[in-house]
Amino acid sequence: MQAPLVSASSQVRRYGHWIDGQPVATATHIQRVGPQSDDVVAEFSNGSDSDAARAIQSARRAFDEGPWPKLSGTERANVLNRWADLVLLNLDHLVQIEIAEAGKTIRVAKGDLEGTVALMRYAAALCHQLSGEAFTDFGSALQAMVIHEPVGVVAAIVPWNFPTIIFAQKVPFALAAGCTVVVKPSELTSGTAYELARLATQAGLPNGALNVVMGYGDPVGQHLVQSQDVDMVSFTGSTATGRRVLKGQEVNFKRVSLELGGKSAAIVFDDCDIEAAVEGVLFSIFMHSGQLCCAGSRLLVQNGIAPRFLEALIERAEQLKIGLLEDPSTDFGPVVSEVQLQSLKRFVARAKAQGATILSGGDTADSRSESATYVGASRTFLPTILDNVECSMEVFDEEAFGPILSVTRFATEDEAVRLANMSKYGLAGSVWTTNMRRAFDIAGKVRTGTMEINTSLEGQPQLPFGGFRTSGIGREKGKAGLEEFTEIKTVAFRLEARPPFFGAK
């Protein structure tokens, strides 16, 4: 099916919702001013309560009456694999949307789309793995089995930083489990969600099994969270909104998975391979301008190596190439919006007022002569390194959600672990050392959902992802990411009549 949506006059893409296997136009739209300039790059439907209700009803019908939950694993896998093929065929178009709406460099955008395809194919493979348990040791008269059933209608609420990857960490896994889905993308980056849903229909996904409803968190997101017809909310975003999602369940107790914020520590020891550690730390905080929940935004560095390490890190940070997003040699781009930019400026000003020292960055790229002429320079926050950060400062444990690295020094292993665990979050982290005993010891002691040794941001589909403490509830990806979208049911069956429990009639 060919759906719109390039408005002929302006070449600004205009999107409707995607409901019940077709585009749904709306009267009003939200204009997306792109990250790089004041140009409008897309217009998204400004969804209402009734649009959200319509999308939920479509998913409800598709779950209760439709074929999708009843198909065999093989049939579901075939659709997901065809979907992945179509995403690959349309990769360049999707990459352009990511560049325009999310402000990604072409390398990051391509990596995201390739990662999306990999997640879809992995979820397709998992379609064959929804197995249960059989219990046959209750005596000859009784047996039981424990099975996984799809949880039902899933509301997938997606943020702006990784519109396709986060979509793909949720939706193909929910579909693989036999659920039907309503996606609410961020009102800043809704284009790829629409395109992915359109391609899913083209791949043979039954109408209503995947719907996209655009608009603001209030009313659209809120409607999804509160609706009695939604069985599960899978949310990624800020810890504050995650709390609101949980609060919304005081009445209807639907299943909730939350993937929230983080303040992950990169722990660098004196005996590390310094070149590898510098590159790993650099990548984990400055990839996509630090706008990722699992960014390594706290550097804990051992006293002996600190001066040498910081010197090398600053040199590399200042070499990152700021330029046209479409240029494959560009390393670093603008932040997602003016709101986010102003928030980063205030964050650095407060850190400075509390005693942090700016070693590099701290301002927008137009302050640097070599990048001042780049079109998005005034919206690009430079890679920023803040030294002398104490545990009592805001920057030590608050998420900036931008390219801001805080530096704290330590003397011993125990101190490193204590500092890493001094956080309300528990999403990710890395340790850099050539001493493997120490590396595994620390990986076990740091209270986070992911710990990486001598590497950072490994996002393979097989590896579950999620957080401890206020970083969230539940896991995405991996086998756990499939089971997340299932309910466990016990089915017990008697092969012979049970002896009466009560006395004779």
Catalytically active residues, by annotation: 259, 293
Nearer to ligand NDP, 178 or 217 (CB): 217
Q: Is the CB of 413 or the CB of 484 nearer to ligand NDP?
A: 484
C-alpha distances (whole Å) from 245 to each of 54, 189, 223, 226, 367 are 21, 21, 11, 9, 40
**CB under 6 A: which stretch of 170-178, 200-208, 253-261, 367-375 binds ligand NDP?**
253-261
362 neighbors 400 (Cβ within 8 angstroms)? no
- Using the rule CB under 6 A, is 48 a contact of ligand NDP? no
Q: Among residues 159, 290, 461, 478, which is the contact residue for ligand NDP, using CB under 6 A?
A: 159
Instruction: Kindly tell me which residue out of 46, 116, 161, 234 binds ligand NDP, with binding defined by CB under 6 A.
Output: 161
Q: Is 46 in the site for ligand NDP (CB under 6 A)?
A: no
Q: Considering the complex, state which of residue 208 and residue 221 has its C-beta at the smaller distance from ligand NDP.
A: 221
Cβ proximity of 205 and 22 under 8 Å: no
- Binders of ligand NDP among residues 461 to 490 (CB under 6 A) are none
Residue type for position 348: V
Provide the greatest CA pair distance for the chain: 96
Question: x/- binding map, residues 218-247, to ligand NDP, per CB under 6 A?
Answer: x--xx--x----------xxx--x--xx--
187: contact with ligand NDP by CB under 6 A: yes
Q: Does 98 bind ligand NDP (CB under 6 A)?
A: no
Q: Which of 57, 58, 105, 186 binds ligand NDP (CB under 6 A)?
A: 186
Does position 51 interact with ligand NDP (CB under 6 A)? The reply is: no
Partners of 257 in the beta sheet? 234
Count the Cβ atoms, other than its own, within 10 Å of residue 97: 25
Shortest CA distance to 3 belongs to which of 34, 20, 89?
Answer: 20
Q: Residue 8 or 339: which CB sits closer to ligand NDP?
A: 339
Tell me how many residues contact ligand NDP (CB under 6 A).
26
Question: Could you tell me the smallest distance in angstroms from the CB atom of residue 360 to ligand NDP?
Answer: 22
Tell me how far, at minimum, the Cβ of 288 lies from ligand NDP, in Å.
Answer: 11
Distance between CA 48 and CA 28 in Å, rounded? 10
Closest CB 184 distance from ligand NDP, rounded Å: 6
Least distance (Å) from ligand NDP to the CB of residue 217?
A: 2
- Does 293 sit near ligand NDP (CB under 6 A)? yes
- Asked if 160 interacts with ligand NDP (CB under 6 A), we say yes
By CB under 6 A, the residues from 139 to 158 that bind ligand NDP are 157-158
Any contact of residue 35 with ligand NDP (CB under 6 A)? no
Contact between 265 and ligand NDP per CB under 6 A: no
* Amino acid present at 336: V
CB of 482 to ligand NDP, least distance (A): 21
Environment class of 392 (CB within 10 Å of its CB; exposed 0-12, middle 13-18, buried 19+): exposed
Query: Is residue 296 involved in binding ligand NDP (CB under 6 A)?
Result: no
Q: Are 386 and 404 in contact (CB under 8 A)?
A: yes
Q: Is residue 258 a contact point for ligand NDP (CB under 6 A)?
A: no
Q: What sign results for the dihedral spanned by CA atoms 26, 30, 31, 36?
A: negative
Give strand pairing partners of 264.
none
Q: Go through 400-412 and write b for each residue having 16 or more CB atoms within 10 A of its CB, e for each that does not.
A: bbbbbbbbbbbee
In sequence order, what are the residues at sequence separation of 6 or more whose Cβ sits closer than 8 angstroms to the Cβ of residue 483?
148, 177
Asked if 400 contacts 347 with a C-beta cutoff of 8 angstroms, the reply is: yes
CA distance 157 to 200: 18
Which residues are near ligand NDP by CB under 6 A?
157-161, 184, 186-187, 216-218, 221-222, 225, 236-238, 241, 244-245, 259-261, 293, 399, 401
